[in-house]
Amino acid sequence: MEFEWRYEKEQPQQLKYFLKEKGISKGLLAKIKFQGGTIKVNDKRENVLFSLSDNDKVTIVIPAEGEHETVLLDETPIDIIYEDEHLLVVNKPAGISSIPAQYHPNGTMANRVKAYYKRQGYEDQVVHVVTRLDRDTSGLMLFARHGFAHAKLDVQLREKKFIKKYQALISGSLDDLKEHGWIDLPIARDYSSLLKRQVHVDGRSAQTEYWLEKRDSEIALVDIQLHTGRTHQIRVHFSEIGCALLGDEMYGGRMDLGIERQALHCYDLRFYHPFTQKLLEFKQPLAQDMAAIVQRFED
C-alpha cells in the first residue's frame, strides 16, 4: 500500500523524524526496509537519514501483510456498515465473541472478517480489531484494514478521541435514576470468578455517564457513554446502583422479561479517519431482541 506526503517546512528535517510525525513506527520502518517496501523522496529511493527540503515529495510503500495462518476461517456473512481501503465497520450480533480464544478458536468476528478478506482477495488479510465488544453485546465494531491504520487509530484511542455510546435496558431501582447521571465507582476483579468484576475501593477508576431515554414501571432504556474502558464496566456500574441490565445473569439482571443476554448495544461510534482526518460517525439501530422490548414503551 502506497502513501504520499508533501514536506512543507522551510527548515530541513531528517526523513526519519518526518515519518515519525506521520505515525510510522520503528517497527513499521523495519518492515518497509526488510520485507519489500520502499521509501522515496521525489521518486528516488532514499534512506531515513536523508535531509528533506521544502516541497519534497515523500512516498512510502508498505508491503502486504498476508494473513495470520493460525486464525481460522468462518464463512458466516458479516453485516458491513462501512468500508474503505483503511477501515471496516461492522454490526456484530449478540452471542459472537470479538476474537478467538484458546478453547474457542473459531466462530468469532475475527474469524468471519478474515474469511471475508479471503473472499475479496485482499492482499492484507491480517485482522486488526480496534474496538472490541463483549460476546453478548451487539452493535458497532471497528477493524483496521492494515497495521498502519491500526497504529494511527490506537493513538486516537489513547488520546480519548473516540466516542463510543451504548444503549442498555435496565430494571430495578428505577425511581432513583436521574434524567442525566454519572457513576464514578472503582472496578476490580472479583476473585470468586475468572470473569466477574466488582466495585471495590482498591479497584481502578471508572466513570460511566448516562441519560434516561424511556421507562415504564419495570424497564428503562438508558443512553450510555464510557469515560474509561474497564472490563464489564457498564454491567458492573448499573448492577451496583441497583439497576442491573436485563438478561445479565452474572450481575443479577432479570431473566424473565424476554431477553436472555445482557441487554447492551453499541449504537454510536465516532472517530477521525486516520488519513483524511474527516470526522466519521456511525449509528446502528437496536438489535431485534432489544427493539422488541422497547416497543412495549410505544404500545
CA distance 209 to 150: 27
How far is 89 from 270, CA to CA, in rounded Å? 11
* DSSP tag of 287: P
C-alpha cell at 138: 451487539
Which SS3 state, helix, strand or coil, does residue 158 take? helix
Reading the block at residue 225, the C-alpha cell is 457513554
User: Using an 8 Å Cβ cutoff, are 61 and 37 in contact?
Assistant: yes
Q: Which residues pair with 181 in a beta bridge?
A: 210
Q: How many CB atoms lie within 10 A of CB 35?
A: 12
Rounded distance, CA 269 to CA 284, Å?
9
Query: C-alpha grid cell for residue 277?
Result: 482526518
Cα atoms in the Cβ-side hemisphere of radius 13 Å centred on 34 = 6
Active site residue 190: no
Sign of dihedral through CA atoms 6, 9, 15, 18? Answer: negative
116 within 8 A of 122, measured Cβ to Cβ: no
Instruction: Give the chain's radius of gyration (CA, Å).
Output: 23
Amino acid residing at 247: G
Of the candidates 134, 136, 248, 289, the residue annotated as catalytic is 134
Q: Which residues are catalytic?
A: 134
